[in-house]
Amino acid sequence: AQSVTQLDSQVPVFEEAPVELRCNYSSSVSVYLFWYVQYPNQGLQLLLKYLSGSTLVKGINGFEAEFNKSQTSFHLRKPSVHISDTAEYFCAVSVWVSSYGKLTFGQGTILTVHP
Amino acid sequence: DAGVIQSPRHEVTEMGQEVTLRCKPISGHDYLFWYRQTMMRGLELLIYFNNNVPIDDSGMPEDRFSAKMPNASFSTLKIQPSEPRDSAVYFCASSLLAGQETQYFGPGTRLLVL
């Protein structure tokens, strides 16, 4: 079975500073990787996903993530954050070959951007 | 498209009462998922459907929980009888396919059982 670990439960950062949210996964088979964002009192929405190909994936709102197979990591980065990026971020994996194809989510990282 | 629609958005009920949560997926999506989100356990998959058929309900916590999808545009999650520990935010999501496809989440139903 696959699992996801988000290494930081909370990340405070000042506006315009860079940020990295860390995600590690474990799986015995190849996976698809996702980052979702949840703004207060809203559902989750997709930021970006890695399916195959280039290990650097660009998403919405200036976020990007890098898939590192040897490190089994999929860290999310943004070079300069805005107040509006304050939200909870979830890393998720989906097993590549599975009759189920269901997502397994990490515990989430709350990003708080201070002025 | 209106996205995934859930109702009600908030529900407050007393222990022992029946609770029914509703979901309308995005038209054309073959997969529908029910999740529960709590502070303690995070985001958990309860059950998912493919073409209206339940595929994996291993996440359903107890027999008090049941889910149905009578047609491609409607699903319900029922809790009977409800207990305070069922208090959580329940999300419905849908996708075209499973695996590599993006799941689109509804706004959630915030349930409080007193």
Hey, is the C-beta of B99 within 8 angstroms of any chain A C-beta?
Answer: yes
pLDDT at position A52, please?
Answer: 86
Q: Residues 6 or more apart from B72 whose CB is under 8 A from it?
A: B25, B51, B52
Nearest residue of A to residue B106, measured between CA atoms: A43
CB B113 within 8 A of CB B90: no
Q: Residues 6 or more apart from A96 whose CB is under 8 A from it?
A: A29, A30, A31, A32, B99
Is pLDDT at A75 greater than 90 in this prediction? yes
Hey, is the C-beta of A103 within 8 angstroms of any chain B C-beta?
Answer: yes
Do A105 and B43 lie within an 8 Å CB cutoff?
yes
Do B33 and A102 lie within an 8 Å CB cutoff?
yes
- Give the range among A93-97, B34-38, B45-49 with minimum mean pLDDT: A93-97
Based on DSSP, count helices (H) and strands (E) in chain B, helices before strands: 0, 11
Find the mean pLDDT for residues B63-71: 96
Do A96 and B99 lie within an 8 Å CB cutoff?
yes
pLDDT at position A100, please?
Answer: 60
pLDDT in tens, A32-72: 899 999 998 889 999 999 988 889 999 999 999 999 999 99
Hey, is the C-beta of A1 within 8 angstroms of any chain B C-beta?
Answer: no
